Structure formats: structure tokens, C-alpha cells
Amino acid sequence: MKAPVNIEVDGQATGSVGRYPSQTPSRPIPDPTVIDRYLCIAPDVVIGLNVKFSKFVNLYGCEVGDDTKIGAFVEIQKNAKVGKRCKISSHTFICEGVTIEDEVFVGHNVTFVNDTFPRATTGTGTLQTDADWHVETTLVKRGVSIGSGATILANVVIGENALIGAGCVVTSDVPADAVMVGNPGRVLRYLKPRGTHE
């Protein structure tokens, strides 16, 4: 069985939590939701090796790959996946249904969306539950960079190595290597493809 995954917050080791993929937790986690006073990582989060966290993160039911850095005030919801060697900057929200492949840069205050027509309540006025709506998905492919303040609407695929400008609202698929800016996002130009190294 693999050793528990070490948690490092702002460069300081604070303990261990969660499980590496396919690892069954070997022991109960003392406090299942609070690992560090300012770090909320639920026990069902699958964390890779050498993942680094800033303070005030909130993660539940998600996966984070090896060597990824998660900034302060980041929330990652259940069934979201973040790949290896990613940088997720502070104040970003990654919702259920979002898959981020390896080596993706996500700037500050980036928002993903998984419900195109959100409602608080059902037609009869009761609060909606998970049964009352369905999760829409988003795929961010390898090597993408997303500028600060961007909003990524649901049902889009951002192609490999694309660059999303600061403040862009992405409403449709982004071709590989494209630079997209504006609201609604439009292709500004194309970058040279980056080398593959794996």
C-alpha cells in the first residue's frame, strides 16, 4: 500500500490526507474535513504526489494530479479533475463536470460553469436538489493557459495549448493553439504549437 500523501501548505508540511488513486485509506483521518486550520480537504479527494496548497482551499470529491499547485481561496467541487503539473491561481472556482488535463495554467479568479440555465428552486418553489438539474461538462486540454478573470461557460472544449485572454468569456470551443480574447470570446491569432515532451 502506498504511503499517505503528504500535504504541504505554503511550503510547510502539515500532515497527510486522502489517497493516491486506487489507494484505500489505511486509517481514519483524525478530522475528516479540516487538515490544517485554513485548509479544507475532504477525505474523498484523490491527491497526487507533491501537490502544494496555499491556505483557504476547499476541495471535495475531486482529483488533483502530481506536482500541481493550488492557490489560496480555490474551490474544486466533486467530480472535477485537475491533471498533473498544473497551476491553479488564487480565487478560482472549478466546478463539478470540469476536466483539466496536465500542464494547464489557470489564472486568478477564473470561473467555470456547469449549469446553463440555473434555478434556485423547482417549478413548485422548493429548493432544487441534484435530482433537479444535470451537470454540463467542460474539457480543458493539455498545456492550456487561462488568463485571470476569465469565465468558461459549460459544454466547451479548450484545445491543446490554447491561451485564453484575461477577462475572456469563452462561449464556444477553442481550437488548439488559439489565442482567444473578449466577450464573447473570439480567436485573436494562433500560437506556434508547443513541443511534446512525454
Ligand X SMILES: CC(C)(COP(=O)(O)OP(=O)(O)OC[C@H]1O[C@@H](n2cnc3c(N)ncnc32)[C@H](O)[C@@H]1OP(=O)(O)O)[C@@H](O)C(=O)NCCC(=O)NCCS
Of the candidates 32, 38, 103, the one whose C-alpha atom is nearest the C-alpha of residue 67 is: 103
Q: Which is nearer to ligand X, 111 or 148 (CB)?
A: 148
Whether 134 is a known active-site residue: answer no
Question: Could you give the CA distance from residue 69 to residue 53 in angstroms, rounded to a whole number?
Answer: 6
Q: Which is nearer to ligand X, 32 or 182 (CB)?
A: 182
* CB of residue 164 to ligand X, shortest distance in Å: 8
Q: Which is nearer to ligand X, 4 or 147 (CB)?
A: 147
* CB of residue 47 to ligand X, shortest distance in Å: 24
Q: Which of 91, 108, 134, 197 is catalytic?
A: 91
Cell numbers that stand for 189 in this block? 491569432
Q: Is 97 left (phi over 0), alpha (psi -120 to 50) or beta?
A: left
* CB of residue 50 to ligand X, shortest distance in Å: 22
DSSP string for residues in 33-95 = SEEETTEEE-TT-EE-TT-EE-SSEEE-S-EE-TT-EE-TT-EE-TT-EE-TT-EE-TT-EE-
Q: Are strands 34-36 and 12-17 parallel, antiparallel or unpaired?
A: unpaired
* CB of residue 29 to ligand X, shortest distance in Å: 34
Q: Which is nearer to ligand X, 23 or 109 (CB)?
A: 109
Q: Spell out the residues 6+ positions from residue 36 whose beta carbon is closer than 8 angstroms to its own.
A: 7, 9, 14, 15, 55
Which residue ranges make up the site for ligand X (CB under 6 A)? 107, 147-148, 163, 165-167, 179, 181-182, 188
Give catalytic residue positions.
91
